[in-house]
Chain A
Amino acid sequence: MPRYAGHFTICTPMKFSLAIYSAPHASQSAASALRFAKALLAGGHEIYRIFFYCDGVQNSNMIAAPPQDEADLISEWQALQQKHNLDLVVCIAAAQRRGVLSQREAHRLEKPVANLAEGFDLAGLGQLTDAVANSERLITFGG
């Protein structure tokens, strides 16, 4: 039986990766990516990796504090990561440019704060290449 994920009809379970290029509150792209990820998992598909690049690194910025009546994508990514043990990878070079640092990077670069949210890992662009090589579909959001 075909499964319905929004406008898509995907018949057989597949291995997906997502590339996310937009910040949570600047456009709808990151929220769409989150909804798409949930739809994939609900449809029995596998998510190999979610790669955050360009302004998408802001999805892992734990000191973002949106108003209470607005979506909190960072927490939602974390909850989804915990539930499905997702591989959430943030491009380290893009994150450094935009001020998203792990404890280790903050220490190494002599910056006063570390703000990479738990559940996300900093890594190089090679992880995007690896996701391309090891997924049946790569879906890009934003940019």
Chain B
Amino acid sequence: MSNRTLALCRAAPYGSALAREGIEAVLASAAMEQDIDLLFLGDGIFQLLDNQAPEAIGQKSLRRNLKALPMFGVEELYVCQSSLEERGILPEQIQIPGAEVTLVEKPGELIAAYQCVLSF
């Protein structure tokens, strides 16, 4: 996987612009046919949660952008297992249609395998 890029998604979806702009950068990269995978960790896990209602706070849905990832060929979503457990979120609550969610016990080892890492 030497030429692949890994994007770290660390920010909750609506508290700052970082999560949205991170996913936009990932989509732009995928649209240019770069191989890119995602690792959700820390509060970034919250981006994946189903039944979000961002319109209640005047925000656009970020999950809609995440659902577009498989259409751009981004099908590998890694999720830090301990981040998930710390937040009491179950794997079935963070599924994205068309994408494979893989729980990762040792995120450091995953990150180390990539030639380039984008951090959001």
A and B form one complex = yes
Q: Using CB atoms and an 8 Å cutoff, list the residues of chain A in contact with chain B.
A: 19, 21, 53-55, 93-94, 97, 124-126, 128-130, 132-133, 138, 140, 143
Q: Is B28 an interface residue (CB 8 A)?
A: yes
Instruction: Please name all residues of chain A whose beta carbon is closer than 8 Å to the beta carbon of B120 when the two chains form the complex.
Output: 21, 143
Number of A-B residue pairs with CB-CB distance less than 8 Å in the complex they form: 43
Known: A126-B32, A129-B34, A143-B18. Contact between A53 and B118, CB under 8 A?
no
Q: Is B105 an interface residue (CB 8 A)?
A: no
Instruction: Please name all residues of chain B whose beta carbon is closer than 8 Å to the beta carbon of A129 when the two chains form the complex.
Output: 28-29, 32, 34
Q: Is the CB of B28 within 8 A of A125?
A: yes
Q: Is the CB of A132 within 8 A of B28?
A: no
How many B residues, CB 8 Å from partner? 16
Q: Is the CB of A19 within 8 A of B118?
A: yes
Known: A132-B116, A140-B118. Contact between A54 and B21, CB under 8 A?
yes
Q: A47 to nearest B CB, angstroms? A: 16
